[in-house]
Amino acid sequence: MRRRELMLALAAAAVAACTPPQPEKGGASAAGSSAVTDPAAVIRPLYDRYMTPDAEFPSFQDQAPWSSSLWALLSAMTQRSQQINEPILDFDPLIGAQDYQLSNLNVANEAITEGSHAVVRVSFTNSATPTDIVYDLVWEDDGWKVDNIRGEGWDLRQIAAAPDADATSHQ
């Protein structure tokens, strides 16, 4: 009898592992759904490393969940930068600066069109300077992806698409 109970338990576990989560009332999926459907929850963790002393930073490609369209522009920009042997993007777009000492971090949704587009505003103080960074996100591959980042006087898509390095400098 013990062996039969074990086999039933294993079969039930296998079925459960293969069954997709069922939506709850209101359309939200099971546990962890806010991280998937809440655009701000996608952006907020990008700032954890800036708030932690001596944090490790991933490669630029892995710093954010980039949309395929923006990543294509960033990759082309990186190739142009290597060809001219000069940086085209001369600052970190997540903070709008080269150096950082962040405090007072606030990440908030400004607009959401479910399954399509969203805008998230990140506000913080960087070395006594109030800063706002705006993220445009698109729904791609079943998740929110960063499709642009904008700050005061700059737009990442425009910088990445500009053929002339001198025209893309920040500040």
The full set of domain ranges for the chain reads 40-168
pTM, to two decimals: 0.75
Confidence of residue 164 (pLDDT cuts 50, 70, 90): low
Residue 47: pLDDT above 80?
yes
Residue 90: pLDDT above 50?
yes
Residue 117: pLDDT above 90?
yes
* Average pLDDT, rounded, for the chain: 80
The reported pLDDT for the residue numbered 36 is 54
What are the contacts of 155-164 at 24+ separation with CB within 8 A?
Answer: 156/70, 156/89, 156/93, 157/70, 157/73, 159/77, 159/88, 159/89, 160/70, 160/73, 160/74, 160/76, 160/77, 160/88, 160/89, 161/73, 161/77, 162/88, 163/80
Q: Over pLDDT 90: what percentage of the chain?
A: 63
Residue 140: pLDDT above 50?
yes
Residue 28: pLDDT above 50?
no
Q: Over pLDDT 70: what percentage of the chain?
A: 74
Confidence of residue 44 (pLDDT cuts 50, 70, 90): very high
The reported pLDDT for the residue numbered 160 is 94
The enclosing H or E element of 107 equals strand 102-113
CATH number of 40-168: 3.10.450
The reported pLDDT for the residue numbered 163 is 77
